[in-house]
Structure 1
Amino acid sequence: MPIKQNKTAEIELAAATIKDQEKEETDFLYWQIQLQRMNVLPSGDRVLLDAACGSGTFGLSIVNGKALVAGIDICKTAVSSGKVRSKKQRLDFLSIVGDLENLPLKDNSVDTYLCRAALHHFVSVKPVIQEISRVLKPEGAIVFIEPNGSNPLVKLSTLGEKFSGNLLLSLGLDTPNETIHDHTCYLEALEQHGFSGVRISSCYPGSLPPLPQK
């Protein structure tokens, strides 16, 4: 397992999966409903940071023009794709090329920090959450949508990948950075940086209904 994230591998994966990201609109609708229920989506002149945004489709779809979306990704090709998409749809989108471990943003500049399916590509989430604590406004909200290493099904899936000889890696659908964190890793890092009121909900679109929030 690498000690630090292989940035080049992440850039290549983001560029290779741009078209796949744009085909997930049913998934986006599901999460839009869930996040509306949680009352964490910004509106008006507030800013949602779509962290590791890829082509920007997720953040743009769930906000749906009701707030400014700032999309940041380490892959310039992916971010450029998001900029083109936002212009076609006439949506407010600020495209940023950058690293989640070193955000090129001012302190206290983000209302909602949204990160979907990216944190398990970091060996440790602590540097990422440290940056979140810097850029997020005091009254801001954080949303992580990630595979939970505490989930028995996720553990089984991880074992299956190992026995298959890293099939996803050979197909170019994953990177050597993958580290499935359990929920305690997120809780510890968030508490370390002073975040409170953390809610955990287990769910998977198209499968079993969400478990009660904790």
Structure 2
Amino acid sequence: MAIVSNTVDYLDDGVLLQGFFAYDDAVEGMRPVVLIHHAWAGRDEFVADKAKRLAALGYLAFATDMYGKGIRGSSPEENGRLMQPFMRDRAKLQRRLHAALASVKLLPWADNTRIAAMGFCFGGLCALDFARTGAELRGVVSFHGLLVPPENLPNPRIKAKVLVLHGHDDPMAPPEHVLALQTELTRAGADWQMHVYGGTMHAFTNPVANDPTFGTVYQATADQRSWRAMQNFFAEIFA
């Protein structure tokens, strides 16, 4: 087994973006695709590592780029400035998601009939918005994602199965947001499930998250449980 990884450039409305992909060259033929959406700092080593781990499970993993080639934030203030235009204009965010989907479908190892999306924090919102657009995805997974619905899709019809992995003590997705999402997914006709981890805050999968006053704290047990839940979910939807 050898994990092969590289970058690929793609465009959205004239903006140059750069995705990171990984796959196991010991797997023969085409394989299921998992799009990975980054947190608010941009496409970084965190999602590259997740792509490699997914490649080891037999998937073609593609870490998308929401901000532009080489654009990363290095502080909460910079991260917020990068993310906010997409929070204000969810149609723009959704177009960028579909640009990544079109790009990954061109890769020769991609089984275009078996595609899923996942994401972390801001990327969790991206994964949920992807499903809200009615995209032909087998499923989406949100890890400690933002749950606020988009105004431009008030009555989505969701085809993808949905898995939400959430920390009960996450201040960025309080209980009222959780209940609203559950109601929304039910009305949208989605096959959905939610795993809620007690004593767990935002960014629980990120080992460098250690800011209780901001609400971001790594939680090893929730990290491990959520990754196993994701693996079980992908095994189901790609069967």
**Fold shared, TM-score > 0.5 on shorter chain:** no
Between Structure 1 and Structure 2, which shows a larger proportion of strand residues?
A: 2
Between Structure 1 and Structure 2, which shows a larger proportion of helix residues?
A: 1
Q: Which has the higher contact order (CA 8 A, sep 6+)?
A: 1
Q: TM-score, normalised by structure 1?
A: 0.42
